[in-house]
Structure 1
Amino acid sequence: MNKIVTFSGVFLLPFVSGQVYSQKVQYKSPNVVFIMADDLGIGDLGCYGQDRIQTPAIDALAEQGMKFTQHYSGSTVSAPSRCVLLTGKHTGHSFIRGNKGYKAEDGRSYDLNLADEEVTVGEIFKSRNYVTACVGKWGLGGPSAEGHPNQQGFDYFFGYLGQGNAHRYYPTQLFENNTPVMLNKKVYSHDMIMDKALAFLDKNANKPFFLYLTPTIPHADIIVPNDELFDYDGKFQEVPFHGKGYTWQEKPRATFAAMVTRLDRDVQKVVDLLDKKGVLDNTIIIFTSDNGTHKEGGHDPRYFDSNGPFRGSKRDLYEGGIRTPFVVKWAAVIPEGSVSYQVSTFWDFMPTVCELIGANTPDGVDGISYLPTLTGKGRQEQHDYLYYEFHEQGGKQAVIKDGWKLIHLQINNPQKECYELYNMNADPGEIANVVKLYPRKVDELKKIMKDARTTNANWKFAFEK
């Protein structure tokens, strides 16, 4: 099915001293490598305070570029977070708002298909003659369907189409475009994913490219090939995991640390290859995570302080579930050692890309471009508010505005339904619920919570049914 893409608005440069410049920004079609880890907590990286796990490559990206301190994921779980990133619409408007699947003709389960009419970042890059690839986990549709990455602006895909299948590092199969690649549970998938990503870069370094690299590390299973624990073996007091749903692991702490360091090692491989091909200085490298840390498969986030100073984890709308690491290296533009306090989020990536490459922003996008923050040029717009909704655990919503955060819990269970209010400036750990002390603030944020969303047939709260 051919997609009809409509745009509105006119491409303008950022405001500088109140003026709008008419000439185009003179960037040499910068390449973009967007690396998104899976369930990596903000506290799992050395550049955000981790002292038990070694992440020298990612730390170097922060030292050589810009580290964001207030960046938020698209959602608190996988599929909707990826939808938000690729379409620029927060979960009040996004087509995918949760991890919900269907069974395809091959008998396997995949996530709901991203609608054909949705415009993705991949399609925006394609409109400017970039070669595009998604390598890793997709989570927005199954084989030969409208949600498949080849139908959503990506020339090449390799990895897991369904996020549920990505819980296993020794899968039965992966996909290369629409073709199943049979692995018969004998190949450690992360290593093959990285090989394919590096091959894409090697092949396409002589043309503008966008690589959306989405490794599944460190999502559970907690496992590495050949017990490759680096120097973590015997370093931690272990609590063996013999639970359900994931592979039993006798050394979950050493293995988790080794997974993160393995990911970091492979980030360095990407940097080294870009340098070898002579395109490092003209490539924007972004590193982040799809949501907060998990508590599955034997991982103990408290032991590693995986959520840093924040409360909560994956599936929470507390900061630990949605506050993510976000590091950007752009050697030709960003001064080394930069730190940004800009409140930014996954749905800002779309307008940032549009401004970067001179494309008009698609209709209905919720984000704002953070390109002025990266370049230090022009006026940086600010969010009026951030909105989240989540359709598991009774239904949840959250609004963040001017340092305040209102959380709505158990929406679908009237007897348990409640609100919590936090002053994020004074209480970033969300310790003191002050909902009874500031009724006017609660009413203000409740109104935003109501107005910030539209009804979606697949994602209805109880009050909509």
Structure 2
Amino acid sequence: MSTQIQAAPNNDRPNVILIFADDLGPGLLGCYGQQVIRTPNIDRLATEGIRFTNYYGGVYCAPSRWTLLTGMHDGRIGGWAQTRPGLPIQRDSGRITQQEYERRFAALKANANPIAENEVFLAQIAQRAGFETAQFGKLDRGFLTWHQRVKRFGWDFYEGYFDHQRCHGFYPPYLWRNGQRFELPGNTRADCGKTSEKGDEPVGYGGQTYSQNVFIEGIVKFIRQNRDRRFFLYHPTQLPHGPVSIPELHPDFSDAPNLSLAEKKYASMVKMLDEHVGRIMHELKIQGLDENTIVFFTSDNGHELYYGPKDDYRAQRLPDGKPANLTDRKWRTAQHGDVFNGAGGRAGLKRSGYQGGMQCPMIARWPGKIAAGTETSLLSSHYDFLPTLADLVGQNRPAGKDGISYLPTLLGKEQTERHDHIFVFNRFATMGSSALIANDGFKLVEAQRDQGVFQLYNIAEDNEERFDLASRYPDKVQHMKKIMQQESNSPRPDLLLAQP
């Protein structure tokens, strides 16, 4: 846990860019072993920077983004609430009146997590250092939000979606920019043109303006406009979250004989993500910002399969139609036939407490500061990004946060501050529940929540979680269970301490 630390004076603070992919497993990137989809721009970040191999997000979008924005693990009491999505779609499609929308929206706001006066969020760290802060895409936690809340989180500028369910379509009739609604030409559907699970266009489909193209143009414009001042830019992209949707197939896959149409579309989404990373890097070079900008790339959680057999993305079920859950029922690439091996051989997918559900890529590039082509097995998580950002921009770290700063590791210095463990909470009981990853390489998985089924793995040697060691090390299991119980639904120390 972070204590309040006085940052050293820094007259050479870099711009900071964080690209946050959606449902992208490590195995989808060339630098993590991808064999079918080429990702040269993201791979370049790793070739010219550092690649993490023991990095964790959440098990799905909302808790993962909450940990990033707060610097706290997702098992804390009152940490995050998953507000019911889709209210704007109901209004825009005529299913409810504006008056009913306002009534329900007010109720949702009242039930959303209250924000303590002394709570400090990610963007506020950079804002206090005089940085211009901006986010483009799936705003904040990804679920229902609104202008005042986004501003409270510390964003000077934002552009994107206010509602999680609208994010599942890539052709929204409108988006939000600093409290103002702006229309996207040619897009007509209230559900934002969400495709079917097979990637089919919906009946009455109307879509001409692809949201990700809007965001990349906005990002490039923001970089140009802020070339003479420090900035923190956060891009929570929709890519490659499904159902699959892309304006056109990438030439790499349009004639691929061994891929289904859904697989071609999905691969094209990953290619677009990679090309947008390249576009950002190119703009930094043009503006003379390349060497004084640190670029991070990660994903919210592990891989999700949106292109399974018969183009059915509900791949958490095994070929016999029954759910994947216990040791002999884990989802695995070889068993289910994921042509892209997005989980990189790990067990489980998104929502799972196994490695495939929570282990994420993390790459950082900062020319002249981060040694090119380096790799680290430092145990780290999304909730470490906030204290790391504080050190980067020269701000005191807020007291009581769960995260640590991994800036020393980035700079090739001794990492004296380390986690004893990482905790990931999981409310999904049937696919591997909460997990505790210890610094000695062991991981405890509550395989079925509230059923007393625990599994122990030595992921330092068995990252695919094939060998359950619980019966061999019962004392280890009991020790880690005690820590897991302490972390689950624990109070928030950052709100109990006065902040600077």
> Which has the larger displacement, 285-294 or 114-123?
114-123
CA contact (8 A) 1:132 1:154 kept: yes
Distance across 2 between alignment mates of 1:328 and 1:114:
32
TM-score, structure 1 normalization? 0.85
- Kindly indicate whether the alpha-carbon contact (under 8 Å) linking 2:380 and 2:422 is maintained by their aligned counterparts in 1: no
Matched, 1:30 2:14: yes
What is the letter of the counterpart of residue 254 of structure 1? Answer: K
2:115 aligns with 116
Matched with 1:411 is 449
Residue 436 of structure 1, CA deviation: 1.9
Alpha-carbon distance in 2 for matches of 1:191, 1:456: 41
Maintained 8 Å contact 2:71/2:387: yes
User: What does residue 68 of structure 1 align with?
Assistant: 52
**CA–CA distance in 1 between the matches of 2:467 and 2:5?**
45
- Are residue 289 (structure 1) and residue 299 (structure 2) matched? yes
1:437 is aligned to 2:472:
yes
| Post-superposition offset of 1:56 | 0.6
Give the CA deviation at 1:339. 1.3
- Which of the residues 225, 239, 253 maps onto 2:263? 253
Structure-to-structure mapping, 1:116-195, within 5 angstroms = 116-117=115-116, 118-140=119-141, 142-144=144-146, 148-183=149-184, 184-185=187-188, 186=207, 187-195=209-217
Query: Is residue 369 of structure 2 the alignment partner of residue 333 of structure 1?
Result: yes
* 1:377 Cα deviation after fit: 2.8
Give the corresponding residue for 2:485.
450
Aligned equivalent of 1:221, options 225, 240, 243: 243
SS in 1 for 2:345: coil
- Give ranges in structure 1 of 5+ residues lacking alignment: 1-6, 13-23, 240-250, 458-465
CA contact (8 A) 1:83 1:94 kept: no
Map 1:197-276 onto structure 2 (within 5 A): 197-225=219-247, 227-239=248-260, 251-276=261-286
Of 411, 422, 446, the residue aligned with 2:457 is: 422
Q: Distance in 1 between matches of 2:112 and 2:31?
A: 36
Deviation of the 1:161 alpha carbon: 1.9
Q: Higher relative CO (CA 8 A, sep ≥ 6), structure 1 or 2?
A: 2
Letter in 1 for 2:446: H
1:190 and 1:366 map into 2 onto residues whose CA distance is: 33
- Aligned to 2:339, the other structure's residue is in SS state helix
Contact 2:53 2:361 in 1 (8 A): yes
How far apart, in 2, do the equivalents of 1:164 and 1:110 lie? Answer: 15
Using a 3 Å threshold, how does the CA distance of structure 1 residues 334 and 27 change in structure 2: closer, same or farther?
Answer: farther
CA distance in 1, matches of 2:79, 2:61: 10
Identity of aligned residues (%): 33
In the TM superposition, what whole-angstrom CA distance separates every residue of 1:25-66 from its partner, at most 9, and x where no partner exists? 545121000001100110001111111001110111111111
Partner in structure 1 of residue 325 of structure 2: none
Which secondary structure state, in structure 2, belongs to the residue aligned with residue 135 of structure 1? strand
Q: Secondary structure of the equivalent of 2:4? A: coil
Q: Deviations over 1:90-133 (max 9, x none)?
A: 11227445644365845679897454323111011111110000
Match of 1:321 among 352, 357, 382: 357
SS at match of 2:137: strand
What root-mean-square deviation, in Å, do the aligned CA atoms of Structure 1 and Structure 2 show?
A: 2.5
Q: Is the 8 A contact 1:134 1:212 kept in 2?
A: yes
Pairwise CA distance, 1:277: 0.7
Instruction: Report the alpha carbon displacement of residue 455 of structure 1 after superposing the two structures with TM.
Output: 5.0
The answer on whether the counterparts of 2:379 and 2:422 sit within 8 Å (CA) in structure 1 is no
Aligned pair partner of 1:387 in 400, 423, 441: 423
SS in 2 for 1:390: coil
Letter in 1 for 2:434: Q
Residue identity matched to 2:24? L
The alpha carbon displacement at 1:142 in A equals 3.9
| Aligned residue in 2 for 1:79 | 62
Counterpart for residue 435 of structure 2: 398
Aligned residues: 423
State how far apart, in whole Å, the 1-side matches of 2:211 and 2:387 are.
Answer: 32
Whether the 8 Å contact between 1:139 and 1:163 is mirrored in structure 2 is no
**TM-score computed with the length of structure 2 as normaliser:** 0.79
Alignment of 1:11-30 (within 5 A): 11=6, 24=8, 26-30=10-14
State the match for 1:90 in structure 2.
73
Contact 1:98 1:391 in 2 (8 A): no
Secondary structure of 1:434's aligned partner? coil
Which residue number in structure 2 is paired with residue 247 of structure 1?
none
Name the structure 2 match of 1:45.
29
Partner residue, 2:98: none
Superposed CA offset, 1:332-377 (max 9, x none): 3012111112111111111111122222222321111100001123
